[in-house]
Amino acid sequence: MRLSDDEKAMRDGAHGAAKARAMDLLVRYGEALGAERLVETNNVAGAFNASTPSIAHLAEEGFDKVYSELNLDSDETVEIPHMAVPTCQLITGIDNRNWQTQGVDEKLAELQRRSEQYLGARGVNMMATCTPYQVGNVPVKGEHCAWMESSAVIYCNSVLGARTNVEGKESTGAAALTGRIPYWGYHLPENRFATHLVDIDIDIDEMADWGVLGYFIGFAVGEDIPALNGIRRQPNLVKLKHFGAAAASSGGVEMYHIPGVTPEAASMEQAFGPNRDKQVIRFGAKERRETYERLQCATERKVDFIMLGCPHNSIEQMALIAQLLEGRRIHPDVALWVHTPHAIRQMAERSGYNAIIEAAGGVVMSDTCPAISRKLPPGVRVVATDSAKQAHYLPAIAKVEGWFGSLADCVETAVSGEWQGAG
Ligand code: F3S
């Protein structure tokens, strides 16, 4: 791999041991990927927090030890300096306010708080969400980023037109200290053209439809790049957030094009660029019905847990939940957890939405989600969610049955205690 003089100096220790470790890691990682060089990045989103039981023993030796081992792959503990470039923490395992409701041990909650202080002092912005683009981290078109979290990566590449691969704890840890990431994959313009044409001949409008479409496309294209034809109604952030998260969970989709909507393709010709042998996939009423059915893995209609906010809810979604719950009470046998970034949680607080959700018996959660924390209310057997991604993961992770439907279906289910959607 070719390194600049600056990069060589970092590798050789001129800027301290931590940067030397970081540069060594990036070179090994880049060479394994076949990258010829590194690229400068000014935007890193990773996972740095010490908040799981498996990390707690490392934290006893200090947070430099945690960062060295988990974010730099270094057995030797090095002193971690201030991050070199803007860096944010993605979602964590613990809601700093609702850790007791989650059933998290007090010592672990305290460990996360101390870990955040350590990281904050080194310039890690505590966004604590899988949707950093909703709370201030909005890279511009063409910007090279180093992001983890599949639902954030697909949004970054496709909707924002910025450039990132799905990075890991180690590569983001090294990128944050050096401002570099291997130049390969989606950083290269020639790797960003569509491979599959998805011909859609039904109206896609509701958020649940976007989730179903994404789930279908993920299975159909795997890790390739779909271009969507036939979208008649302009989608918004919430719909594209759900679409991308679903496509990245049933498949490994990291980028898509919707000509006229996403910024890198004004036309199908631009979406495919030089790719001539496009594969064509059709999505119609039959495919929608089959995919919807595939997402329903419950048989029992009595539901005991409703999970909303995967990916983390926008402020409009918080407003809608409050509107649907105003003056109502959720069923006494049902737990309703609504997940949103803590910055949006504050907006929802001031707008009065949290008070309505809480008066109905719901809990507004931040910083985490059940798939990451592996924490659900005790004794849960049947879950309902408006997220195709969550419907995909929760049954496997938590050994529960799951229903998938619209936000309104889920709220009605929370009130009645029985699944109110189709299926
Ligand atoms: Fe975010 Fe958790 Fe869903 S990380 S995308 S809320 S599975």
Q: According to the model, what pLDDT value does residue 323 have?
A: 98
Q: Whose CA is nearest to atom 6 of ligand 1?
A: 310
Give per-residue pLDDT as tens, 166-216.
999 999 999 999 999 999 999 999 999 999 999 999 999 999 999 999 999
At 117, is the pLDDT very low, low, confident or very high (cuts 50, 70, 90)? Answer: very high
Give per-residue pLDDT as tens, 24-53.
999 999 999 999 999 999 999 999 998 888
Kindly state if the Cβ of 340 falls inside 6 Å of ligand 1. no
At 322, is the pLDDT very low, low, confident or very high (cuts 50, 70, 90)? Answer: very high
Cα(4)–Cα(12) distance, integer angstroms: 12
Q: Which amino acid is at 46?
A: G
Kindly state if the Cβ of 371 falls inside 6 Å of ligand 1. yes
Cα(85)–Cα(372) distance, integer angstroms: 26
Give per-residue pLDDT as tens, 291-314.
999 999 899 999 999 999 999 999
Kindly state if the Cβ of 112 falls inside 6 Å of ligand 1. no
Tokens 């959700």 correspond to 357
Kindly state if the Cβ of 245 falls inside 6 Å of ligand 1. yes
**What's the length of the chain?**
423
Q: Say if residue 288's pLDDT is above 80.
A: yes
Cα(289)–Cα(12) distance, integer angstroms: 58
Q: Say if residue 423's pLDDT is above 80.
A: no
Q: Whose CA is nearest to atom 7 of ligand 1?
A: 371
Q: According to the model, what pLDDT value does residue 345 have?
A: 98
Under 8 Å between Cβ of 418 and 399: no
Dihedral through CA 94, CA 325, CA 417, CA 209, nearest 10? -80
Under 8 Å between Cβ of 149 and 368: no
| Percent residues over pLDDT 70 in the chain | 100
Under 8 Å between Cβ of 72 and 21: yes
Q: According to the model, what pLDDT value does residue 285 have?
A: 97
Nearest of 121, 139, 220 to residue 186 by alpha carbon: 139
Kindly state if the Cβ of 159 falls inside 6 Å of ligand 1. no
Q: Whose CA is nearest to atom 4 of ligand 1?
A: 130
Cα(40)–Cα(219) distance, integer angstroms: 33
Query: What rounded mean pLDDT belongs to the chain?
Result: 97
Strand ranges of the sheet holding 44-46, from the earlier edge strand across to the other edge: 124-125, 87-89, 44-46, 146-147
Under 8 Å between Cβ of 403 and 303: yes
Q: Say if residue 16's pLDDT is above 90.
A: yes
Q: Whose CA is nearest to atom 5 of ligand 1?
A: 311
Q: According to the model, what pLDDT value does residue 52 have?
A: 84
Give per-residue pLDDT as tens, 46-95.
999 988 888 888 999 999 999 999 999 999 999 999 999 999 999 999 99
Under 8 Å between Cβ of 271 and 193: yes
Maximum C-alpha span of the chain: 65
Kindly state if the Cβ of 91 falls inside 6 Å of ligand 1. yes
Q: Whose CA is nearest to atom 3 of ligand 1?
A: 310
Q: Which amino acid is at 137?
A: N
Tokens 């053209």 correspond to 193
Cα(415)–Cα(384) distance, integer angstroms: 12
- Dig out the tokens for 422 from the structure: 């189709």
Nearest of 266, 256, 253, 269 to residue 198 by alpha carbon: 256
Residue ranges per domain, the chain? 5-185, 193-294, 305-416
Strand ranges of the sheet holding 363-365, from the earlier edge strand across to the other edge: 363-365, 335-339, 305-308, 382-385, 401-404
Give per-residue pLDDT as tens, 256-287.
999 999 999 999 999 999 998 889 999 999 99
Q: According to the model, what pLDDT value does residue 235 have?
A: 97
Q: How far is the CA of 240 from the centre of ligand 1 (A)?
A: 14
Atom of ligand 1 nearest to the CA of 393: 7
Kindly state if the Cβ of 241 falls inside 6 Å of ligand 1. no
Q: What is the pTM of this model?
A: 0.97
Atom of ligand 1 nearest to the CA of 152: 5
Q: What is the dotted CATH code of the domain comprising 305-416? A: 3.30.499.10
Kindly state if the Cβ of 369 falls inside 6 Å of ligand 1. yes
Under 8 Å between Cβ of 247 and 214: yes
Kindly state if the Cβ of 385 falls inside 6 Å of ligand 1. no
Kindly state if the Cβ of 312 falls inside 6 Å of ligand 1. yes
Q: Same CATH topology for 5-185 and 305-416?
A: yes
Q: According to the model, what pLDDT value does residue 422 have?
A: 85
Cα(281)–Cα(220) distance, integer angstroms: 8
Q: Say if residue 107's pLDDT is above 90.
A: yes
Region for 274 from its dihedrals, namely left if φ exceeds 0, alpha if ψ lies in -120 to 50, beta otherwise: alpha
Under 8 Å between Cβ of 410 and 418: no
Q: Architecture of domain 5-185 in CATH?
A: 2-Layer Sandwich (3.30)
Kindly state if the Cβ of 145 falls inside 6 Å of ligand 1. no
Q: How far is the CA of 126 from the centre of ligand 1 (A)?
A: 16
